[in-house]
Amino acid sequence: MKTTLRTLVVLLLTVGWSVAPAIAQDDASVDPMPELLTELGRIEARIGYLQLRFENSVGEDRDLFADQLARRWREHHALLGEMVDATEAAREGGEERADATARIRVALERESDFIRAHVEDVEAKIAELRIAGPEAAPKDLLAIEVQLTELNVDLDELIEAAVDDIEAAEVVGADLGPDVALLDRRLEDRAATIAARIELALDQRDALVDRARTAGADTVAIQQTLFGLDEKLRGTTLSLQAMTDLLRRRDLETADYRPLLLEATGDIGVSILDPEVVGSLVATRWTSIRLWLADNAPNLMVKIVTILLVIFVFGILARLARKAIDKAVSSGKVDTSEILRRLVVGMASKVVWLLGFLVVLSVFGVDVGPMLAGLGIAGFVLGFALQDTLSNFAAGLMIMFYRPFDVGDVVGAAGVKGKVASVSLVSTVITTLDNQVLILPNSKVWGDVINNVTAQDTRRVDLVFGIGYGDDAAKAQRIMEQVLAEHPLVLDDPEAVVRLHELADSSVNFVCRPWCLTGDYWDVYWDVTETVKQRFDAEGVSIPFPQRDVHIYRQGAGDGAPAN
């Protein structure tokens, strides 16, 4: 049984392999032309019916039948393309279908007549809209340009269909007569007209942009006109691209139009690799540069010389202002801090340079009034965005005017202690005692307790010395007083204080408080400490260390006396 099934399967596969090529060959040998001719007859009958209805209708019905008629002609055009392809395929196979070729010629002639008539109709509509365009209000210009773009797209499609028909006619040997030369001339004329419209629209757009920058211009009307010009540029560049492609298919010249398309659209494609396009771009730019230099070179030279002169003069004025203000605030007649002096001197030169910048802008014809107003609005917006920075700025102003410290002072603020290196409007730079540089926001400094260590000329050195309970307290006090009296940096006024201050757990403590200049603080601190230690050792005065006596009691002792 298994052998029989296996044999049946092999037989079926063999039959299938032998039949499949035959079926494929039959499918390949099926002639599509009869079916295409039948479809062509059906479409032409429908076109004839729609043509009659179109001619006998008015108003909205006429527009409806016109739309249906255009759709059927598009189907007719696509079907002719298939028939021409089928004719070429049959010809390559050695078969010539004379009846089908004759039928295609007739269809091409009819379609050519329709395209010619429809092109004239679309061109008439375009002409009507172009007449109405200059008289239209700016707000209506955009709608007119949109309609023109749609009509131009329809016209481009018709012209492209005409080019397709000419190429198809060459395949089937149809004679379209003067239509070929007429189409080539129409392509060249239309491309040249569209290019002129693009150049004019570009110039108009530049002129409108310049007008919008002048004071008192009707910006609403200008913006509406610009919208219309942008739509015109969009439609005309689409048409010029279509015409350029069709000109290339007809082996006609296109190098003059591709640089213009590049300028209008900014789309850099493979056309930029064409030497003619590159040469045309370079020549056009160089001509524009030469013309611009010829018209503007004298004014440009005057402006450059004026700007250089302004920079030179205001540079000198900035240096003079800096020196004058520095001399004024440093003369001693005005009580100012080093922080405020640096701020005022730095701002003086910056204000002078700002005035110079405004003069340069006026040389170029820039109205600084709207700019200053814009800066005011921008400052209002930035005020909300930079609240923390502005709080630092305000604190910096408070520090500069109230002067809780100055550059070079040793201060403690915001949990940091060190020497003030510099102060700006937003931050304070402090060098710590171990030579670390810390940058503190001014809001942190001003919002905390500020301890200015070097604000006074003199400082008191607070020292504590302890002696043993068995030592002579009067002798120890006398030694400390002698040490202070003999030290050259200890001031006589205010008078130093040495007093027995505390009976501590392990020692009798004396306070030793000499006065010295602020800059001598640490020298006095270290010298007095060292000298007192040496004198105590020399004269037998002990400096006890912390100690504790421990007494042990024996449990059960009759008299309760501690054990030895």
In a domain, 462, yes or no: yes
Claim to verify: residue 364 and residue 413 sit in the same structural domain: no
Q: Report the CATH number at residue 362.
A: 1.10.287
Pairing of the two strands 508-513 and 427-432 = unpaired
Cα separation of 421 and 432, whole Å? Answer: 10
Q: Report the CATH number at residue 416.
A: 2.30.30.60
Claim to verify: residue 411 and residue 378 sit in the same structural domain: no
Claim to verify: residue 435 and residue 355 sit in the same structural domain: no
In a domain, 60, yes or no: yes
| Chain centroid to CA 37 | 61
Cα separation of 480 and 498, whole Å? Answer: 7
In a domain, 490, yes or no: yes
In a domain, 495, yes or no: yes
Q: Report the CATH number at residue 516.
A: 3.30.70.100
Q: How many domains does the chain have?
A: 4
Claim to verify: residue 295 and residue 375 sit in the same structural domain: yes
In a domain, 369, yes or no: yes
Claim to verify: residue 424 and residue 467 sit in the same structural domain: no
Claim to verify: residue 303 and residue 380 sit in the same structural domain: yes
Question: So what's the pLDDT on residue 336?
Answer: 61
Question: So what's the pLDDT on residue 24?
Answer: 42
Question: Which of 394, 422, 452 represents a domain boundary (last residue)?
Answer: 452
Claim to verify: residue 517 and residue 472 sit in the same structural domain: yes
Claim to verify: residue 293 and residue 370 sit in the same structural domain: yes
Nearest to 529, CA basis, from 540, 539, 514, 544: 514
Claim to verify: residue 464 and residue 419 sit in the same structural domain: no
What crossing angle do the helices spanning 219-249 and 138-172 adopt, rounded to 10°? 0
Question: Which of 426, 452, 478 represents a domain boundary (last residue)?
Answer: 452
Question: So what's the pLDDT on residue 186?
Answer: 81
The pTM assigned to this predicted structure is: 0.44
In a domain, 483, yes or no: yes
pLDDT along the chain (564 residues), means of 10: 40 41 47 84 88 86 85 87 83 76 83 83 83 72 80 84 82 72 81 84 80 67 78 82 83 76 61 55 68 73 80 82 74 61 72 78 67 61 64 81 84 90 86 91 88 89 93 94 94 93 92 94 94 94 82 68 54
Question: Which of 39, 66, 96 represents a domain boundary (last residue)?
Answer: 96
In a domain, 438, yes or no: yes
Question: So what's the pLDDT on residue 50?
Answer: 87
> Long-range contacts made by residues 324-332, C-beta under 8 angstroms, separation at least 24?
324/348
Cα separation of 529 and 542, whole Å? Answer: 14
CA-CA-CA-CA torsion for 68, 69, 73, 79, nearest 10 degrees? 50
Token pair in block for residue 541:
């005065």
Claim to verify: residue 46 and residue 71 sit in the same structural domain: yes
Kindly give the residue spans of alpha helices, DSSP state H, lying in 214-274: 219-249, 258-265
Buried b (16+ CB within 10 A) or exposed e, 6-22: eeeeeeeeeeeeeeeee
Structural domain for 522, as ranges? 458-538
Claim to verify: residue 378 and residue 446 sit in the same structural domain: no
Question: So what's the pLDDT on residue 21?
Answer: 46
Claim to verify: residue 300 and residue 376 sit in the same structural domain: yes
In a domain, 121, yes or no: no
- 433: helix, strand or coil: coil
In the chain, what's the furthest Cα-to-Cα distance? 153
